């Protein structure tokens, strides 16, 4: 009795299918992808009575077996392919009590495939409120199947469902509807040509819109040539089939399903009136956005500071405890820094998905789509692109993950590709320090130039996103015809358990999916920055110490002293000790800077100098541009290392940057021209390996992130070049 | 010109007659948007598009371009169905 029962969970969207899945499997679930495509695969294990176990597969939500999206075709393929290892022994069709009629359409189709099917009628707790009564026994007889009346909210009926699954062998395999009556001759011909195959199955393969994966196509190669009927004829037949099924369902429900219309009419209408109102609708949406922003931007600051602090002290601890050497450095500066770079994003991702899950569970998300669709359409985007684009201003990583709600692949791809243009929070440190350096004081209409610059950078980000969406919409030739049909579900109180699972699962998929790549790149960057082949690199300590002894400290250390000696009281007896400590630190910083200059990374910086010189940068900024490919905020830290000042000394870095002179022009290196050029470069360049990793994960191909990298970097380079050459 | 779902006023109802375009998504039909069923315009989005309908108990939002292909007979207020 060790064989697991394969169970497929299938149902319309918004029927609480996921809640049923969660209740059956608890935490025994995992989420992955179907091989080769980006459709999410959710599976879990459920313990049944009498020691039997069931493997439960949660199929993507679908209204019927006539697929219109990749997600849906995954469901159909699995049901058709008897050789698939996940091919179900029994299918559970989840329906909700209010939309039973529509849900039964899918049920009859599954029955017609002769797969044993159990009908779950979910949300049974709403029955009395909605005045609904169902004659379950009669309905079971009419559908020739078994029914479990379930309430995931009240947690009732799940045990009955478990019993039914364990007992699946007793489920009848009879068909509900004989669809051949819609075109008797045609179906007869099908049956005689393929005597071994089921006619309904053949019909499904012939009529699919979405490209099928190779599997059954070979078997039905002749079937497709058999589709002698034109596309529109087939469509007509599909319509006839749908009408036929509804006739069958209406006939059954007439006898078994009663609704007392006098029962409460629900508050949907009232709430809809407010939430989709032409003024209040936008106002409420705006307020919700503000809250989400505040959470991602403000509230997550505390956990992020904690994480940051933790990794800083962990690095410190490793360096102090382990014997010094390459291995210790690898752990401290490569691995720990890499893991820190992943974990730091967890609060933002968790907050964003907490809100998204809440909005989806309550049914509000469909209203946002409804409100925004017309506004987004001219740009090749849909109402569903709004949430990702806006969350991109916090961080592109959760934003790209949030595009999963867009069913139309083309609209989703465009959204993924343009989202990184929006100004994320990692650009902020770079913007702030450069704006402070190069943008003059003064104000326009009461707004300071600095604030105006920052605002224009945000607007430019959105502008670039919209503009590239328009272009992509023109050039991308993707056949994914999907019409805009969005169900507006009933408003519901969110089930906290479901929200929790979603947050957990999305966070996990980020940490283990994108995390691997981030870690790998950060180890590579560490290696390049801490190794070198030249004698200068190997003897950095002696060279720098000797130079300091002979010529005194460098200009940057003098600035470092100036900034720090202000606080020193010469009469303080400890003053000389403190002075000594400062000198020691300055020496260490100079050695680190010298080392970086002569490391592989340093040579790379010098190698790319000819490329970045037209933008007004020198090789040092070149290095910072390379290292900040890991994440934009690394820019500031790298400059700090190069200029040999402590990492956390913001004031010092700024003073040091201001003092830097361009050796060729003898003018300050950071002037208005090079500053603006840098700002623009960071506004448009794809300087974030984590985003690339996530885009790779979400599109399942390196093609798109590579294209994104090339296009955005090129665009950034050209814009920065023009700006520098004009302002110079 | 034929009366279609796009011509409904808010709160108005009609009975679906036919589809004037063959390639309407089958999803729409599966949601219950079938000839003979009653359709009600629930809400119109601020820029007049998309529209939000209730057909056969299904609440769905569709774009106006699609609504233009669903022909119907408007049910006048004084009619009883």
Q: What is the ipTM of this complex?
A: 0.90
Contact A238 B26 (CB under 8 A): yes
Q: Residue A169, exposed/middle/buried by CB under 10 A (0-12, 13-18, 19+)? A: exposed
Q: Is A243 in the B-facing interface, judged by CB distances under 8 Å?
A: yes
Residues A325, A203 within the same domain: no
Rounded-to-integer distance, Cα B14 and Cα A63, Å: 24
Calculate mean pLDDT across residues A659-664. Answer: 73
Question: What pLDDT is recorded for position A645?
Answer: 56
Query: Which residues of chain A does B34 touch, with a Cβ-Cβ cutoff of 8 Å?
Result: 242-243, 246
Rounded-to-integer distance, Cα A267 and Cα B42, Å: 14
Question: What pLDDT is recorded for position A37?
Answer: 58
Q: Is A282 in the B-facing interface, judged by CB distances under 8 Å?
A: yes
Q: Tally the domains of chain B.
A: 1
Question: What pLDDT is recorded for position A328?
Answer: 85
Q: What percent of chain B has pLDDT over 70?
A: 90
Q: Are the beta carbons of A53 and A28 closer than 8 angstroms?
A: no
Q: How many residues does chain B have?
A: 81
Q: Is B74 in the A-facing interface, judged by CB distances under 8 Å?
A: no
- The verdict on residue A132 lying in a domain is yes
Query: Which residues of chain B does A281 touch, with a Cβ-Cβ cutoff of 8 Å?
Result: 46
Residues A216, A323 within the same domain: no
Contact A371 B45 (CB under 8 A): yes
Residues A12, A134 within the same domain: yes
Q: Is A278 in the B-facing interface, judged by CB distances under 8 Å?
A: yes
Contact B26 A66 (CB under 8 A): yes
Calculate mean pLDDT across residues A265-281. Answer: 83
Which residues are within 8 A (CB) of B54 and not within 5 positions of it... i.e. 6 or more apart? B39, B40, B42
List C-alpha distances in Å: A216 to A534, B27, B59: 61, 24, 36
DSSP letter string, A468-491: HHHHHHHH---------EEE-PPP
| pLDDT digit string, tens, across residues A701-715 | 899 999 999 999 999
Alpha-carbon distance B51 to nearest alpha carbon in chain A (angstroms): 8
Rounded-to-integer distance, Cα A627 and Cα A87, Å: 48
Measured on CA atoms in the order A502, A504, A507, A511, is the torsion positive or negative?
A: negative
- The verdict on residue A38 lying in a domain is yes
Q: Tally the domains of chain A.
A: 3
Is A393 assigned to a binding site?
no
Q: What is the separation of C-alpha A61 from the centre of its chain, rounded to a whole number of angstroms?
A: 19
Residues A49, A87 within the same domain: yes
Q: Is B34 in the A-facing interface, judged by CB distances under 8 Å?
A: yes
- The verdict on residue B80 lying in a domain is no
Token reading at A504: 């957990």
Contact A238 B28 (CB under 8 A): no
- Residue A555 reports pLDDT greater than 80: no
Q: Is A722 in the B-facing interface, judged by CB distances under 8 Å?
A: no
Q: Are the beta carbons of A334 and A526 closer than 8 angstroms?
A: yes
Domain housing A197: 181-239
Question: What pLDDT is recorded for position A719?
Answer: 95
- Residue A644 reports pLDDT greater than 70: no
Question: What pLDDT is recorded for position A717?
Answer: 94
Q: Are the beta carbons of A187 and A179 closer than 8 angstroms?
A: yes
- Residue A214 reports pLDDT greater than 50: no
What strands, in cross-sheet order, belong to the sheet with A5-11? A29-33, A40-47, A53-58, A5-11, A90-96, A117-122, A146-149
Q: Residue A459, exposed/middle/buried by CB under 10 A (0-12, 13-18, 19+)? A: exposed
Question: What pLDDT is recorded for position A106?
Answer: 92
Domain-ending residue, one of A170, A197, A224: A170
- The verdict on residue A683 lying in a domain is no
- The verdict on residue B59 lying in a domain is yes
- The verdict on residue A231 lying in a domain is yes
Residue A261 DSSP symbol: T
| pLDDT digit string, tens, across residues A217-238 | 455 555 555 555 677 788 788 8
Residue with tokens 């499997």: A25
Contact B48 A243 (CB under 8 A): no
In this structure, the number of other CB atoms found within 10 A of the CB of residue A428 comes to: 15
Residue A169 DSSP symbol: G
- Going by pLDDT thresholds of 50, 70 and 90, the confidence category of residue A63 is confident
Calculate mean pLDDT across residues A268-297. Answer: 84
Residues A98, A124 within the same domain: yes
SS3 B75: strand
Domain housing B62: 5-75
Which residues are within 8 A (CB) of A151 and not within 5 positions of it... i.e. 6 or more apart? A122, A123, A124, A125, A157
| pLDDT digit string, tens, across residues A431-459 | 888 888 888 888 787 778 888 888 888 88
């Amino acid at each position: 009795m060790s064989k697991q029962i394969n169970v497929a969970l299938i149902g319309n969207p918004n029927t609480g299918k996921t809640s049923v899945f969660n209740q059956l499997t608890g935490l025994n679930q995992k989420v992955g992808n179907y091989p080769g495509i980006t459709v999410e695969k959710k599976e879990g294990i459920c313990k049944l009575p009498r020691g039997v176990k069931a493997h439960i597969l949660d199929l993507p939500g679908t209204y019927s077996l006539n697929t219109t999206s990749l997600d849906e075709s995954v469901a159909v393929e699995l049901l058709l392919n008897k050789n698939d290892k996940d091919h179900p022994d029994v299918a559970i069709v989840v329906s909700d009590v209010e939309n039973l009629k529509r849900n039964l359409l899918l049920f009859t189709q599954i029955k017609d495939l002769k797969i044993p099917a159990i009908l779950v009628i979910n949300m049974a707790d709403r029955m009395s409120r909605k005045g609904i009564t169902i004659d379950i026994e009669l309905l079971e007889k009419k559908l020739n199947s078994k029914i479990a009346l379930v309430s995931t909210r009240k947690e009732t009926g799940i045990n009955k469902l478990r019993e039914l699954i364990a007992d699946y062998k007793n489920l009848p395999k009879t068909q509900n509807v004989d669809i051949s009556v819609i075109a008797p001759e045609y179906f007869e011909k099908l049956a005689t040509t393929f005597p071994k195959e089921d006619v309904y199955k053949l019909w499904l393969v012939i009529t699919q819109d979405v490209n099928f994966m190779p599997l059954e196509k070979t078997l039905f190669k002749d079937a497709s040539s058999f589709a002698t009927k034109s596309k529109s004829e087939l469509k007509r037949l599909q319509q006839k089939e749908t009408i036929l099924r509804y006739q069958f369902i209406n006939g059954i429900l007439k006898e078994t399903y009663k609704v007392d219309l006098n029962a409460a009419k629900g508050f949907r209408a009232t709430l809809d009136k407010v939430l989709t109102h032409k003024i209040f609708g936008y106002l409420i949406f705006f307020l919700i956005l503000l809250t989400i922003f505040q959470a991602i931007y403000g509230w997550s600051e505390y956990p992020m500071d904690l994480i940051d602090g933790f990794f800083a002290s962990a690095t410190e601890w490793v360096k102090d405890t382990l014997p010094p050497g390459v291995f210790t450095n690898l752990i401290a500066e490569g691995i720990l820094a890499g893991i820190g770079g992943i974990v730091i994003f967890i609060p933002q991702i968790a907050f964003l998905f907490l809100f998204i899950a809440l909005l989806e569970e309550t049914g509000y998300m469909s209203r946002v789509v409804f409100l925004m669709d017309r506004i987004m359409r001219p740009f090749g985007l849909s109402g569903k692109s709004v949430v990702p684009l806006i969350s991109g201003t916090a961080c592109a990583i959760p934003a790209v993950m949030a595009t999963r709600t867009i069913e139309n692949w083309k609209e989703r791809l465009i959204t993924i590709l343009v989202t990184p243009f929006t100004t994320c929070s990692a650009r902020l440190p770079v913007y702030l320090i450069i704006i402070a350096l190069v943008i003059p004081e003064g104000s326009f209409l009461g707004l300071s130039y600095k604030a105006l610059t920052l605002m224009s950078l945000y607007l430019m980000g959105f502008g670039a996103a919209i503009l590239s969406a328009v272009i992509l919409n023109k050039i991308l030739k993707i056949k994914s015809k999907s019409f805009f049909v969005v169900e507006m579900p009933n408003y519901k109180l969110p089930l906290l358990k479901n929200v929790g699972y979603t947050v957990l699962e999305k966070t996990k998929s980020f940490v283990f999916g994108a995390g691997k790549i981030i870690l790998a790149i950060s180890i590579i960057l560490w290696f390049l920055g801490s190794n070198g082949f030249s004698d200068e690199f190997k003897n950095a300590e002696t060279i720098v110490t000797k130079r300091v002894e002979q010529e005194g400290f460098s200009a940057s250390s003098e600035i470092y002293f100036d900034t720090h000696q202000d606080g020193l009281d010469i009469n303080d007896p400890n003053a000389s000790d403190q002075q000594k400590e400062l000198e020691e630190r300055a020496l260490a910083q100079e050695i680190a800077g010298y080392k970086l200059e002569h490391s592989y990374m340093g040579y790379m910086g010098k190698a790319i100098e000819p490329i970045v010189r037209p933008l007004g940068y020198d090789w040092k900024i070149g290095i910072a541009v390379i290292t900040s490919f890991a994440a934009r905020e690394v820019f500031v830290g790298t400059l700090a290392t190069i200029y040999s000042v402590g990492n956390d000394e913001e004031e010092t870095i700024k003073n040091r940057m201001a003092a830097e002179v361009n050796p060729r022009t003898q003018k300050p290196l950071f002037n208005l021209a090079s500053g603006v050029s840098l700002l623009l470069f960071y506004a448009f360049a794809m300087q974030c390996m984590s985003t690339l990793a996530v885009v790779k994960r979400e599109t399942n191909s390196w093609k798109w992130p590579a294209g994104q990298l090339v296009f955005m970097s090129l665009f950034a380079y050209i814009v920065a070049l023009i700006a520098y050459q004009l302002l110079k | 010109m034929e009366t279609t779902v796009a011509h409904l006023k808010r709160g108005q109802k009609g009975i679906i007659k036919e589809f004037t375009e063959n390639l309407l998504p089958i999803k729409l039909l599966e949601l219950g948007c079938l000839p003979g069923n009653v359709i009600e315009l629930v809400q119109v989005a601020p820029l007049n598009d998309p529209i939000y309908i209730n057909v056969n108990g299904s609440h769905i939002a569709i774009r106006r371009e699609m609504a233009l292909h669903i022909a119907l007979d408007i049910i006048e207020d004084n009619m009883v169905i």
